[in-house]
Amino acid sequence: ISASADRITNICCIGAGYVGGPTCAVIAAKCPEIRITVVDRDPARISAWNSDTLPVYEPGLDALVKRQRNINLVFSTDIDRAIDEAQLIFIAVNTPPMHHHTHVSSLGAKPDLSAVSDCARRIARVSLTDKIVVAKSTVPCGACATIAQMLRDNAQSGVRFSVLSNPEFLSEGTAVRDLLHPDRILIGGDDMVAQDRLKAVYMHWVPEPNILTMNMWSSELAKLASNAMLAQRVSSINSISAICEAVGANISEVAAGCGSDSRIGSKFLRPSLGFGGSCFHKDIASLIWLSESLGLPEVAEYWHQVLALNRFQIRRFVARILADASRGDGSSGLQGRRVACLGFAFKEGTGDTRNTPAADVCCELLRNGATLSVYDPKVSRHHIVDRLAAAAGTDCSVDSVTVCADAYSAIAGSDIVVVLTAWSEFRVIDWEQALKLMAKPAYVFDGQIVLDHDRLRQLGFNVFSIGHTHVT
Ligand code: NAD
């Protein structure tokens, strides 16, 4: 490639979402000589990035964006102009699964690459000079080769493109920290000059040994495999948590016992209501689809079980609530019971509710007749209501859901507290006060193992926690 200058000084990023926004803020902060323009087809998103209230909540992001916005970070809806001016273009648009998945019985799903294809065609049409095009979106193996072909097919005469795969590994809730201190950066491709140019951008702050160059397929597959293996760890420990409840074991002790083996490691071994978020389900579905399309049904089935176990964990949790806290006076299920749901985001540290296990638990409780008071420190009322309405479908109504402004208002008047997100602020609730506000007997079901269960029992709560022997 003969990109106009040796060093990259102008970058465009298409897609101003959870990945595009934070990634570009960090690049802008670390590379003062680079001007970076983040564009999106959604004007509301762009105006939010230009406002006081950013569209994404991440610790540290606010200060970073607000500082760089005045220097070398621009948010704009003028996509064509940003493409035209850039030497390097990140594609960071969303790649949702093609079919909507709500049940475990669904097998693989090919990701919908239409947004990525739109970007490729647009880049080809607009570009009058050579460009490096970098796929940051998570795409299945072979997608970068398809992007390269689309660029060639639609290019203005004489314009050449070099395509790289550069998947993103940030986690929501710790995005800024992950971007500042990445374990590794993968750059997949066959054009070494282009690889070196992108590498030079990252070398502003990432140590060279942490930047791995490889072929395109390896880079694409390493991203899918990483997410699948992380999700698999969650399902592995959750499968053990079910055994703990049936025997006398304590999942926290088991996790410590396993995790101190250096080959296993202690991270990502906290039992929970399962994984959520926009990526794990989708990327495993993509891996299952890939395995099936390559004639590897055994591999597909293996990863399918990771998803199945994730659903099982929610079913088990709700069954436990029903078994312990139904009235037992002949009325069915949780009819007449008020449940305080603490947390709604798919994990702590984020306001994201995509695929949140909390929505599945809430819907099951509603189907069983419960009335809900929901509180999450970072998710807005309308987000909670919209997400629940979408998850509930037609067979249950969200009319009996109240969204509360703090934990105490959610707890007041309730029979049952369920912890659905591991926000640390739930630890410091004054539980003595909470007990006074609740109907008796008072139940706590801790789906995230964040509370001090012994102390709650001393105070007089009936406590159940995932992965701990069930005591009645
Ligand atoms: P997102 O939905 O938050 O943002 C995507 C943005 O792209 C949206 O604002 C949308 O309006 C915009 N967009 C879509 N099509 C467009 C088009 N044709 N032209 C211009 N803009 C367009 O998605 P995200 O969470 O940032 O994820 C982006 C990609 O990164 C996905 O492939 C995802 O799998 C991957 N990823 C996400 C995470 C994460 O934690 N969210 C982590 C690693 C990788």
CATH for 300: 3.40.50.720
Q: What range does the domain containing 470 cover?
A: 215-472
- Residue owning the nearest CA to atom 41 of ligand 1: 18
Question: Are 320 and 379 within one domain?
Answer: yes
Residue whose Cα lies nearest atom 38 of ligand 1: it is 19
Instruction: Show Cβ contacts of residue 230 under 8 Å, excluding neighbours closer than 6 positions.
Output: 268, 275, 280
Catalytic residue among 13, 141, 144, 279: 279
Q: Is the CB of 172 under 6 A from ligand 1?
A: yes
Residue 5, in any domain of the structure: no
Task: Specify whether 385 is located in the same domain as 328.
Answer: yes
Both 270 and 181 in one domain: the answer is no
Q: Residue 320's CB: how many other CB atoms inside 10 A?
A: 17
**Which regions in the chain score pLDDT beneath 70?**
1-5, 99-107, 327-332, 470-472
Q: How far apart are CA 317 and CA 467, in angstroms?
A: 10
pLDDT tens digit sequence for 241-300 = 999 999 989 999 999 999 999 999 999 999 999 999 989 999 999 999 999 999 999 999
Q: Is residue 3 part of a domain?
A: no
Is residue 278 within 6 Å of ligand 1 at its C-beta? yes
In a domain, 2, yes or no: no
| 171 annotated as ligand-binding | yes
Which ligand 1 atom is the nearest neighbour of the CA of 167? 44
321 by DSSP, 3-state: which? helix
The amino acid occupying position 21 is G
Asked whether the beta carbons of 98 and 110 are under 8 A apart, the reply is: yes
Show which of 186, 214, 242 is a domain's final residue: 214
Kindly give the number of the ligand 1 atom that is closest to the alpha carbon of 18.
26
* 16 three-state secondary structure: coil
**319/328 Cα distance (integer angstroms):** 15
Task: Check whether residue 168 and residue 75 sit in a common domain.
Answer: yes
Which residue has the least CA distance to atom 28 on ligand 1?
Answer: 94
Residues 240 and 190 in one domain: no
**What is the count of structural domains for the chain?**
2
Specify whether the CB–CB gap between 20 and 38 falls below 8 A.
yes
CB of residue 340 inside a 6 A radius of ligand 1:
no
pLDDT at 19: 97
340, 411 contact by CB (below 8 A): yes
322 found inside a domain: yes
ipTM of the complex: 0.98
Residues 175, 161 share a domain: yes
Same domain, 292 and 427: yes
Atom of ligand 1 nearest to the CA of 139: 32
Cβ 108 under 6 angstroms from ligand 1? no
Backbone angles phi, psi at 375, to 5 degrees: -135, 130
357-367 and 297-325 helices, crossing angle to 10°:
50
Q: In terms of domains, do 276 and 399 share one?
A: yes
How high is the pLDDT of residue 325? 87
**Cα 294 to Cα 300: distance, rounded to the nearest angstrom:** 10
Write the residue with the smallest CA distance to atom 18 of ligand 1: 115
Q: How far is CA 234 from CA 5, 115, 201, 231, 270, in A?
A: 46, 30, 34, 5, 7
In the residue annotation, 279 being an active-site residue is answered as yes
Which among 184, 214, 244 is the end of a domain? 214
Same domain, 151 and 241: no
Does some domain include residue 4? no
pLDDT at position 136: 97
Which protein residue's CA is at the shortest distance from atom 44 of ligand 1? 168
Task: Tell me the C-alpha to C-alpha distance, in Å, between residue 125 and each of 150, 191, 295, 333.
Answer: 11, 22, 37, 59
231 in the same domain as 252: yes
Q: How many residues does the chain have?
A: 472
Question: CA torsion angle for 323, 327, 331, 333 (degrees, to 10)?
Answer: -30
Distance from the alpha carbon of residue 278 to the mean position of ligand 1, in angstroms: 10
Would you say 327 is a known binding-site residue? Answer: no
> How many whole angstroms from 171 Cα to the centroid of ligand 1?
14
Q: Is 344 annotated as a binding residue?
A: no
- Ligand 1 proximity of 45 Cβ (cutoff 6 Å): yes
Residue 1 lies in a domain: no
256, 145: one domain? no
Query: Is 183 inside any structural domain?
Result: yes
Residues 124 and 246 in one domain: no
The rounded distance, in Å, linking the Cα atoms of 119 and 147 is: 9
Nearest to 352 by CA among 170, 98, 181, 134: 170
- The answer to whether the annotation marks 33 as part of a ligand binding site is no
Asked whether residue 198 is domain-assigned, the answer is yes
* Domain end among 198, 214, 230: 214
